[in-house]
Structure 1
Amino acid sequence: MALNKNIKLFSGRTVNTKASEEYVHVIFSYPDSNTKWDGWVPVQYRRTGVAIVDGDTEALENHLNSVYEQINPVNYPEWKKEQDKLWSSSRSVETKDIFYVLNDGKWHCRNCDISNPNFARRIQDLKEMGYTIATHVNYKCPVCGNSRSTNLQLLPIKRVELAGNGYETWSPALRKRIIKVLGGVDVYEDTSATHCLPDHKFSEIRWDDDTKAENPDTMTDMEIKAKFQLLSNQRNQQKREVCRNCFQTGKRGTIFGIPYFYEGGPEWDENIPKKGKEAEKGCIGCPWYDIETWRKKVINKLQEEE
């Protein structure tokens, strides 16, 4: 299918390295309503499963044609009605407020339009709900004059349900059981903690459509120990950044600056795929992948050298 003649596609891609997202700049023209939509369409956006490699012209054109139809102004009232229904029962007031700033499909400056000190968390919440949001970092706003603002654009297109956005979920009962099976121990600090989060050892940034699996309440203790570890929210966010950097640069992470890897070295093994189930092999040996095992390996190494 050829690219719709009413789509103007600009050359090149814009990369948001912090979120590992890529966008193409387009202008959609709608002759029937004499309107235009000028924006960025994500072409690498793991939360909704969009992963169009640079050079795949057919996949890109099909994707843009689909987004073009969804953003057509004639579809906006129905899309808005569906979102209003969704948010009418939401208790997340701060996230809801930000959604209603962004829901017109236009660009919005973080400094001018979003007065929330934790806006990044709220944007992440929206993304995890399945919304598609383009992010222009280090944006110089002509209104407020801030040269390092963030410009955000929520695309009024179909929301991808949580079950399909690349993330796994678990029931409240299983979450409690994971914490119990793992002893309620913050694996980074190696101490008991009251506020720990189940963390996937295998980072989601390397998942593909075939990686996600169910987490039934009947998971065995062995399965839980193999798949999860417990981290504080702070360390969980730190690990996300380490894994993102590794994914983008091939530089594996360290803890406390200690360059020790019980398997592999400081560079990602290029013989291992970057994404998918097989990619997990490349994570083994990294301190962040299994902190408890890494700590034990370090202790054993020190004892051998005494």
Structure 2
Amino acid sequence: MNDKTFSVTTLNKNISIVEKARKKHSKASEEYIHVKFTYQNVVWDGWVPVEYRRTGISLKNDDEVNAHLNIAYEQMNPDNFSAWVKKQEEFWADKQRAQTTKAFFDSLIKGGWQCVDCTLPKNPNWARRIQDLKEFGYTLATNTKHYCPNCKANKTHLILLPIERGGVEGNGYETWTPGLRKKIIKILGSVDVYENNTNPHCLPDHKFPEIRWDENTKEENPEHMNENEIRQKFQLLTNQRNQQKREVCRNCYQTGKRGYPFGIKYFYSGSYDWDKTIPQKGKSAEKGCVGCGWYDMSKWRDSVLEKLTK
């Protein structure tokens, strides 16, 4: 720490940091610390996320990391596991249409690192299932080069942390009820903003990308949201385009270069480069997204057409 007057939270004596250098999963913009949690005769050896956009975790100093690990340690105590499992069973009882994803959860809940090729359920789109688990609020770590004794090669492995959904601080992605989802789609006319036509399969998308959220960004989405609030906050995209947008926003976050749809390098506000006077994360960061086609594709398209007519 540079500030010698800053008091660092004491790390629980039963926690050992195996490697302080952060493990990185660049594609998901995640970072982890390798730790061992010792509970009587049980040792949990794994990676704990310290940069994890799904739950708004972005830890920058030793004090934040130590406090976070202390809470995770308490939540992951084996004495709490039965109660935690019961809560998850109640959660999944309302997810009858997500049985394919639940199969992955059922495998990961067994604990330890699990290989995507020989341990997890066989599925050509396993990454989508893992993303679904993250969107449900579960915390996972990903090691893309973990040696698998069965495959006898380095393979992608995942480990599930049995902590509160939404993270140890209770942060996470905004959620909406099925009723609000239907309301958003109805108000936005089922129009896929990428194709600019109606599509019954499009879904609500937050204009402001979650990768730039922090713990103060998440808001409630009540069913009584009015039309103006919905139009300001959401647009509709297919799942495929939503994934494409995630990648574009991830790249923007990591490189400072804003994305542009259809190969048209045009911004109705700002430029190709992220404005360095604007914060990288938090509510204020949304100003840096304005002008990007992926942020508000309908407004971007209207601006392009206006330019063409002139």
Same fold (TM over 0.5): yes
Distance 1:251 1:77, change over 3 A: same
Residue aligned with 1:229, SS: strand
In structure 2, give the amino acid aligned to 1:174: L
Give 1:65's aligned residue: 70
- CA separation in 2, counterparts of 1:249 and 1:184? 33
State the AA in 2 paired with 1:227: K
1:108 shift after superposition: 0.6
Equivalent residue of 1:256, what SS? helix
Q: Which moved more, 1:9-18 or 1:170-179?
A: 170-179
Tell me which residue corresponds to 2:16: 8
Q: 1:118 aligns with which of 120, 125, 131?
A: 125
Cα distance between partner residues in 2 of 1:142 and 1:65: 32
Matched residue count: 298
C-alpha contact 1:187 1:291 (8 A) present in aligned 2: yes
Are residues 194 and 41 of structure 1, via their aligned partners in 2, closer, same or farther at CA, if it must alter by over 3 Å?
same
Q: By how many angstroms is 1:101 displaced?
A: 1.3
SS of structure 2 residue aligned to 1:100: helix
Contact preservation (8 Å) 1:186, 1:230: yes
* 2:252 counterpart of 1:246: yes
Which residue does 1:189 correspond to in 2? 195
Q: Secondary structure at the match of 1:214?
A: coil
Deviates more, 1:235-244 or 1:69-78: 69-78
Instruction: In structure 2, give the amino acid aligned to 1:63.
Output: H
Q: Is 1:151 matched with 2:157? A: yes
- TM-score, structure 1 length as denominator? 0.89
User: Could you say if the C-alpha distance between residues 191 and 20 of structure 1 is closer, same or farther in structure 2, counting changes exceeding 3 Å?
Assistant: same
1:14 Cα deviation after fit: 0.8
Answer whether contact 1:252 1:286 (CA < 8 A) is retained. Answer: yes
Match of 1:142 in 2: 149
Amino acid aligned to 1:167: Y
**Matches of 2:59 and 2:79, distance apart in 1:** 27
Q: State the SS of the aligned residue for 2:143.
A: strand
Is 1:83 aligned to 2:88, yes or no?
Answer: yes
Structure 1 CA distance for aligned equivalents of residues 268 and 91 of structure 2 = 47
Q: Is the 8 Å Cα contact of residues 259 and 266 (structure 1) preserved in structure 2?
A: yes
8 Å contact 2:251–2:257 — kept in the other structure? yes
Shift of residue 175, structure 1, vs aligned partner: 2.5
Distance 1:76 1:178 in 2: 37
Q: Are the counterparts in 1 of residues 166 and 173 from structure 2 also a CA contact under 8 Å? A: no
Which residue of structure 2 lines up, in the alignment, with residue 281 of structure 1?
287
Q: Matched residues in 2 for 1:50 and 1:137: separation?
A: 21
1:102-122 CA-partner distances (Å, limit 9, x unpaired) = 113311111011122222222
Q: Are the aligned partners of 1:104 and 1:156 in contact in 2 as well (CA < 8 Å)?
A: no
Q: Is the alpha carbon distance of 1:153 and 1:302 closer, same or farther for their aligned partners in structure 2, counting shifts above 3 Å? A: same
**Structure 1: which amino acid aligns with 2:32?**
Y
Q: Deviations over 1:37-67 (max 9, x none)?
A: 21101111232332211xx112211222222
Compute the RMSD of aligned alpha carbons.
2.2
Matched residues in 2 for 1:43 and 1:221: separation? 37
- Separation in 2 of the partners of 1:282 and 1:16? 24
Q: Does the 8 Å contact 2:10/2:66 carry over to 1?
A: yes
Q: 1:216 to 1:86 in 2, by over 3 A?
A: closer
TM-score scaled by length of structure 2:
0.88
Name the residue aligned to 1:218.
Answer: 224
Counterpart CA distance in 1 for 2:163 and 2:188 is 40
Q: Confirm whether residue 237 of structure 1 aligns to residue 243 of structure 2.
A: yes
**Counterparts in 2 of 1:133 and 1:46: CA distance versus 1, 3 Å:** same
Quote the Cα distance in structure 2 between the aligned partners of 1:215 and 1:62. 29
Equivalent-residue separation in structure 2 for 1:4 and 1:275 (angstroms): 29
Task: Provide the C-alpha distance between the structure 2 equivalents of 1:299 and 1:211, rounded to a whole number of angstroms.
Answer: 33
Is 1:21 aligned to 2:63, yes or no?
A: no
Give the share of equivalent positions with the same residue, in percent.
Answer: 58
Q: Secondary structure at the match of 2:111?
A: coil
- CA distance in structure 1 between the partners assigned to 2:226 and 2:165 by the alignment: 33
Pairwise CA distance, 1:266: 0.8
- The residue that corresponds to 1:48 in the other structure is 55
Gaps of 5+ in 2: 1-8
> Is 2:214 aligned against 1:205?
no
Q: Secondary structure at the match of 1:36?
A: strand
